[in-house]
């Protein structure tokens, strides 16, 4: 996962990327994916497994894997790492009470094979 796999794909002129979105439950992952896709966000329920959304950007096809973040299912995140090209870690900056929890989970994740992280501040209307 990470920069090397993206470079390899670009060299092979592959136009399909797999992006994994993870973060604590209720951090806004599904909301972000739906917003980007121009879909209704008025009724959203917690993700229990995962959702896949396919989008196109600059001739690239992005398969976005939006994975549920509830505590009981976080241990399954690693099952999605294989063949993932990039990872987006979503933080709800207004949820100060759970920032330590968020930090702990991110540290756990970084022990796995994650080779590249871009900080990408995203502001939802209520964040």
Ligand X SMILES: Nc1nc2c(ncn2[C@@H]2O[C@H](COP(=O)(O)OP(=O)(O)OP(=O)(O)O)[C@@H](O)[C@H]2O)c(=O)[nH]1
Please confirm, yes or no, whether 70 is among the known catalytic residues. yes
Q: Which of residues 84-103 bind ligand X (CB under 6 A)?
A: 92
Residue 45 to residue 66: CA distance in whole angstroms:
13
* Min CB(103)–ligand X separation in Å: 16
Each as own residue / partner, the long-range contacts of residues 103-107 (CB below 8 Å, 24 or more positions apart, any chain) are 105/23, 105/24, 105/74
18 binds, among Mg ion, ligand X, none (CB under 5 to 8 A by kind): none
Residue 107 to residue 63: CA distance in whole angstroms:
25
Site string for ligand X, 16-35 (x = CB under 6 A): -------x-xxxxxxx----
Residue 44 binds ligand X, judged by CB under 6 A: yes
Show binding-site residues for GTP.
23-30, 69
């Amino acid at each position: 996962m990470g920069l090397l796999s993206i470079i390899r794909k670009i060299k092979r002129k592959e136009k399909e990327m797999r992006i994994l979105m993870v973060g604590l439950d209720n951090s806004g992952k599904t909301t972000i994916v739906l917003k980007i896709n121009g879909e209704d966000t008025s009724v959203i329920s917690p993700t229990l497994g995962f959702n896949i959304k396919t989008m196109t950007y600059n001739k690239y096809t992005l398969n976005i894997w939006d994975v549920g973040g509830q505590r009981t299912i976080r241990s399954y995140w690693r099952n999605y790492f294989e063949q993932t090209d990039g990872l987006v870690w979503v933080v709800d900056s207004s949820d100060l009470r759970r920032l330590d929890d968020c930090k702990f989970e991110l540290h756990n994740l970084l022990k796995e094979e994650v080779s590249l992280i871009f900080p990408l501040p995203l502001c939802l209307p209520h964040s």
